[in-house]
Amino acid sequence: MTILVTGAAGFIGSHLCLRLLDRGEHVVGVDNLNDYYDVALKRARLSLLEGRKGFRFYRADISDESAISGIFNNSGSIRKVVHLAAQAGVRYSIENPMAYVQSNLLGQMVILEQCRRHEKFEHLVYASSSSVYGANTKLPLAVTDRVDRPISLYAATKRSDELMSYCYSHLYKLPATGLRFFTVYGPWGRPDMAAYLFTEAILAGRSIKLFNNGDMKRDFTYIDDIIAGVVAALERAPTPDDGEPPHRLYNLGNNHPESLLRFVELLEGALGRKSKRELLPLQLGDVVQTYADIETARHDLGFEPTTPIDEGVPRFVNWFLDYHGG
């Protein structure tokens, strides 16, 4: 059996491929290696995978139906897909909306079509986001909460992905699981995320930008915990239940919101330097707090995050310094 992972050169995707290969799985990785952020970082992640037994890589765009169809047809018995490729970033979605339509909507549809057409296909696991909760003020955020008020195009595309996947599960009995990730951080993280941005700025002596004057909380979730949740979901394909199609949604978060300022203080401690801070108003499309209710994931997947930010942040800093030769 072969597992297809899209976004294989990405932050979560590269970690997942490593975990699956360590278990002896055959993995086909797909990524378009776009320049949304530093391509060298993507290639460095990919270098950890290339040459590993059981790994094959294709450079392709998930919205290219012909290319993705060819990969499915040429890769043997693909039984499971973890679809992580997407155009990420809440703020960038305001600046470049068409990139999100192309990647997140058309790309999701291409993957759904290939999965439902592929013989003996078993399970699609796909990335959603905590951003689907939009303007909700009830905390913690639960999978049963309303998600019809997105405040960014990124959030709207991710909710659309959930609805399209539910529809395919209903129409074609396609087993599918959507995972709503909450503020993932750790080694090999994305340069547009807080941990990387702040660390880079502190080391360079530049000011870090703290929106809403720093009065924000995030459910920072360490990459190893996220990967454990993805693997657990992959192993548990949903089945029809009480008339509902084989489609499930889960929150994957640390279940412990932390102050952004405390996150910064931990970075400062690990780096041995103080930050310069620029206090700014809340940005368009952003939310003040996230907090994952993970009871459903606990019950169904056995998901239990184990890495507090006191441990995760120093691990990220150690990786950052090593990667950049600091």
- Catalytic site residues? 154
d(CA 220, CA 308): 9
